[in-house]
Structure 1
Amino acid sequence: MDKKPKMIENINDDCQLIIINYLDYQSQYFLWASSKFFAPRLHSNVSYVLQRKSSHVLDYNYMFLEKNGSSSNQLQDAFLSTICSTVQHLELRSVTMNHLKHLMNHSFPCIRSLEYEWANVYESEYRQALQLLVDLFPSITSFKPFAPVNFERMEKWKFLEKLWSNKPKALDEGVSLHTFQDLEHLTVNMHFLRTASIVSVLNLPKLRTFSFSTLCPQTRALLPKILEQRPEDICKLSFSFINWTWFLESLLLLKNLRQLTLIDNILGSGQFQRLVSNLPVLEQVNIIGGQFLDCEMDLWDAVASCSSLKILSLSHILIEDDFYDSSRQFMCEALDNRSQPLLMHCYNTGEDELDLYMSRLRN
C-alpha cells in the first residue's frame, strides 16, 4: 500500500473546505467514509461540513455498505454520531425495519422534518415501523411518507404543521385529523378524500395549504364543499384532473389565494383567464402537464388580466409551433402595461417536488 501522504491531505484547511462544499451530498458522504482511513485531517473537515448541514439523506441503497454488500453498523454509527445532534430535516430512503431499529441507538433532538420510503417492509410491520418513527422523532412539524400510514400511531405528533399522505391506513370509521390542530399544510391523494376525512380537514383551524388529486368521481362533490367552507383560509392550492365546468365558480371564492398549481389539467382560455383575473392577490401560477392554451394570445391576455401575478411556471407541457405569435405583439402589450416584473419559468415550476409526489400518487 502506498503510505505517502495524499495530495488533498496536504492542502490547507480553507482549500479543503472549498473543495468539500463544492461536492454534492453523495460525494461528500463517500469522501467522509473513505478519508477516515487515509486522511484524518480531511475526514475531520468533511465531518465539520456535514455537522453544519441542517438537511441529510440516509439512502440505504449505497450508504453504510461494506465490500461484500452487507451493512456496516460501525460505519453507520460513526456517520449518525456525526450528524445526529444538528440535523433538522431527514430523508430515509430504502429503509427497513432493521435500519429503523438501529437508528434507535441515537438521539435526534433537532429533527423537525421527516421523509421516508420503505424497502422490504411488510404490511403487517407498518404500525410498528410508524411507532418507531414517532418514538425517534417526537417533535417533528413536517412528515412526508411514501408508504401507507396509520393516523392512530401519529397522534403523539402534537406539533405537526405539514402532512403529506398518499396511502393512509384508515381506521374503520375513516381517517380523522382532529388531533393535529396545528396542521397548516396538507397534501393527500384521491383515496384519502372520503366524507369522514373531509369533515376533519374542514375543522382544522390553521389550514392554509391544501393539495390533492381529484381523479375519482366520488371527490367531485368535495372540492366545492372544501372551497365554500374555507375560502378565506386557503392561500396555496394544488390539484389535478379538474373539470372546470364543475369547479370554476367554487375556485372564484378563493380571494386570498396566492399560489395555484394545476397538474394534468385541460385549460380553456376563457375559463383560465376568468379564474386568474378574479383572484386579487394571486402571485404564482404553476402549470404542470396537461393540455395548454390554444394560442399565445390567450396566455398573455390571462397575464394582462392578473396584475398581482409575479411568477408563471410551465413544466412538462408540449407546445406546438403554431402556438407562438411571431410578432411578439401580445407579449409586449401585456408586459408593457404591468406595474411589476413577471418571472417566467419553463421546465422548472419551483414545484418539482410536488410534481414528483403527485406522479407517485397516481402510480
Structure 2
Amino acid sequence: MLDALNDDCQLAIIKYLNLFDRIALYEATKGTSNRLNKNVAYAWKLQLSFILDWSDYQKFEAMPKLLDVFLSNCSATMQELILERVKLDFLKRWENYTFPSMKTLEYTLDSYRDDRVDEAIQIMAKLFPGLHSLKPDGDFDCVVLQKWTQMRKLDLSYTSYYECEYDWVKDIGKCQLLEELTLDSCSSESSNYDDLMALPKLHKLRLLSASNVELSKFFEKRAVDVHRIIFSDDYPNGYMTTLRKMRNVRHLHIMYYENHFSIGNLRDLIKIWKQLEQIDLSSIHIWSREAELWQTVASCPTLKILNILNTDMREDFFEVGRRIMEETLSKRSQTLTLNFYDAHYEELILQHFKHPQLKVTFEPFKLYDDDDIYFVEIHFQPLQSSNHPNVTI
C-alpha cells in the first residue's frame, strides 16, 4: 500500500515512526520496494536531531549490522544528539564514521569508572570535533575543551569537573568563542574568575545555588555590563551587595515558588536600577490590593513592560475609584504594557484597567521550567560583538 504513495507522502509517514520501526521497515523493503527502502534511508538524513537511550543500545547490540545501516545514513547530516546512559563499547563502534555537521551534544554515561569516563569523553571529542554546544553529566575533565575549539555553549549543571585537582577556570577560559556558560555549586572552590569574565563573546552566565560572594567574584569587573537578571531562588536579598554595582540593569525576571518575596523587596531593586524597563514576575503574589501595584509602577518611571504570570485578581482586589491608577499613569511619559499571562478574571482586569497610557494584554512570555530550580542567570554585554569580531563594545 505504501508503494502506491508518492515520495513526499512516504516521507511524511516515515517521519512519525520511531527508530526501530524505521529499521524494521528498511529491512522489510530490501529488494522488494527499492523506492520505499531509499526513502527510509533518506528520512534519516533529513532527521537532524536524535535521542538514543538504553533500550536503543540493547536493540543495536542484538542487531549489530543495523547500527552500520543507521550511522551510514545519518552520520553526515546529524546536528543534535542526546545519549542517555551510553556505553563506552557502543561509542567505540561509532569511530568508523565522521560527523561533520554535529553541533549539539548532551550525554550521560553508563559507567562512572574514571578510566572509562575519560576514554568515553576522548572518543566523543574525536567523533564530534565541531561541537558548538555541550551538556555532559557526571565527571568531566575541562582539559578536553581544548579539542572543542568551536564551543559556544557549555552547560556544566550536572557535572563534577575536578575543581580541586586543577585550574578548570583556565581551561574554560581558553574557549574564546564561548557565549553561554552554566556552572553548578562547584564554582565556590575557585577564587579567580577573571579568565571567564575576559572571554570576549560571553554574554550569558547561569550560576546554580550561588552566594553573594561567588556572584561578586564573577562581576567584580563586569557589573556595569549587566543588562538582565533572572532569579529563581530565595529572593535576591543575599546578593544585594553585588546588585548595587549593577547600575545598567534593564530587565528583571523573578521566579518564585514560596511566598517570601514582598513589595519591599521589589522596591529595593527598583531603587538600585534607575534604567529598569521590564519586570517579569512568575507565580509571585505580592500585591494584596490594586493600590500597591500602582505604587510599584509609580516608583519605576522607566518601566515599559510588566509581565505577571498566574495572578489571581478577584473583585476585592480592585479599588472602588480609579484615582491612584489615573494619577500614576497620567504622570508617565510613555505607555505601560501590563501583561497578565494565564490570568484569572480577565473580564475584571479589562473592566478596571483602562487608560490611554496603558496597554493590557494576555500574551505568553518566556518561562523557565527546567530542572534548575535555584539559579541566578546574568545577561551582559559581551566584550566583543559576535557580528563584528574586531569591534569592542
Q: Give the structure-2-normalised TM-score.
A: 0.70
Q: CA deviation at 1:85?
A: 0.8
1:205 is matched with 200
Q: CA deviation at 1:233?
A: 3.8
User: Where does structure 1 lack aligned partners over 5 or more consecutive residues?
Assistant: 1-6
Tell me whether 1:356 sits opposite 2:371 in the alignment: yes
In 2, the alpha carbon distance for the partners of 1:47 and 1:270 equals 61
Check whether the contact 1:161–1:184 (CA below 8 A) recurs between aligned residues. Answer: yes
Q: Of the two structures, which has the highest relative contact order with CA contacts closer than 8 Å and spacing of 6 or more? A: 2
In 2, the alpha carbon distance for the partners of 1:225 and 1:97 equals 38
Q: CA deviation at 1:268?
A: 2.0
Matches within 5 A, 1:179-194: 179-194=174-189
CA deviations over 1:310-338 (Å, ceiling 9, x no partner) = 76556xxxx8xxx5323674844668544
Check whether the contact 1:55–1:90 (CA below 8 A) recurs between aligned residues. Answer: yes
Amino acid corresponding to residue 100 of structure 2 in structure 1: P
Q: CA deviation at 1:65?
A: 3.9
1:20 pairs with one of 9, 14, 23: 14
Q: Secondary structure at the match of 1:17?
A: helix
Matches within 5 A, 1:1-363: 7-21=1-15, 23=16, 27-39=17-29, 40=33, 41-57=35-51, 59-63=52-56, 65-66=58-59, 70-166=61-157, 167-170=160-163, 172-176=165-169, 177-196=172-191, 198-214=193-209, 219-235=211-227, 237-248=229-240, 250-251=242-243, 253=246, 255-256=248-249, 258=251, 260=253, 262=255, 266-272=260-266, 274-275=268-269, 278=273, 280=275, 285=280, 287=282, 292-293=285-286, 295=288, 297=290, 307-309=303-305, 324-326=313-315, 329=318, 331-332=349-350, 337-338=357-358, 341=361, 343-344=363-364, 349-352=366-369, 355-357=370-372
Q: Give the structure-1-normalised TM-score.
A: 0.75
In 2, the alpha carbon distance for the partners of 1:233 and 1:103 equals 43
> What percentage of residue pairs aligned between the two structures are identical?
22
Amino acid corresponding to residue 21 of structure 2 in structure 1: L
In 2, the alpha carbon distance for the partners of 1:247 and 1:11 equals 62
In 1, the alpha carbon distance for the partners of 2:196 and 2:41 equals 43
Q: Secondary structure at the match of 1:343?
A: coil
In 2, the alpha carbon distance for the partners of 1:83 and 1:259 equals 42
Q: CA deviation at 1:111?
A: 1.2
In structure 2, relative to structure 1, the CA distance for the partners of 1:272 and 1:76 (3 Å cut) is farther
Q: CA deviation at 1:209?
A: 0.5
Check whether the contact 1:208–1:235 (CA below 8 A) recurs between aligned residues. Answer: no
Check whether the contact 1:214–1:242 (CA below 8 A) recurs between aligned residues. Answer: no
Check whether the contact 2:182–2:205 (CA below 8 A) recurs between aligned residues. Answer: yes
Q: Indicate the RMSD between aligned Cα atoms, in angstroms.
A: 3.6
In 2, the alpha carbon distance for the partners of 1:243 and 1:313 equals 17
Check whether the contact 1:227–1:254 (CA below 8 A) recurs between aligned residues. Answer: no
In structure 2, relative to structure 1, the CA distance for the partners of 1:310 and 1:268 (3 Å cut) is closer
Q: CA deviation at 1:359?
A: 8.0
Check whether the contact 2:153–2:179 (CA below 8 A) recurs between aligned residues. Answer: yes
Q: CA deviation at 1:76?
A: 1.5
In 1, the alpha carbon distance for the partners of 2:367 and 2:191 equals 33
User: Where does structure 2 lack aligned partners over 5 or more consecutive residues?
Assistant: 320-348, 376-393
In structure 2, relative to structure 1, the CA distance for the partners of 1:120 and 1:195 (3 Å cut) is closer
CA deviations over 1:37-91 (Å, ceiling 9, x no partner) = 224444433433331233222x13222544xx84432111211111111112221
Check whether the contact 1:283–1:310 (CA below 8 A) recurs between aligned residues. Answer: yes
CA deviations over 1:217-270 (Å, ceiling 9, x no partner) = xx3312134344223444554454345323246336162555746465742233
Q: Secondary structure at the match of 2:206?
A: strand
CA deviations over 1:266-310 (Å, ceiling 9, x no partner) = 42233235536837465574747xx75364756787678574437
Amino acid corresponding to residue 194 of structure 2 in structure 1: V
In 2, the alpha carbon distance for the partners of 1:124 and 1:143 equals 21
Q: CA deviation at 1:35?
A: 0.6
In structure 2, relative to structure 1, the CA distance for the partners of 1:153 and 1:18 (3 Å cut) is closer
In 2, the alpha carbon distance for the partners of 1:16 and 1:335 equals 54
In structure 2, relative to structure 1, the CA distance for the partners of 1:237 and 1:182 (3 Å cut) is farther
Q: How many residues align?
A: 330
Moved more, 37-46 or 137-146: 37-46
CA deviations over 1:125-148 (Å, ceiling 9, x no partner) = 222222112111112121111222
CA deviations over 1:97-120 (Å, ceiling 9, x no partner) = 112211211100011221111113
Amino acid corresponding to residue 248 of structure 2 in structure 1: K
In 2, the alpha carbon distance for the partners of 1:203 and 1:85 equals 35
Q: Secondary structure at the match of 1:114?
A: strand
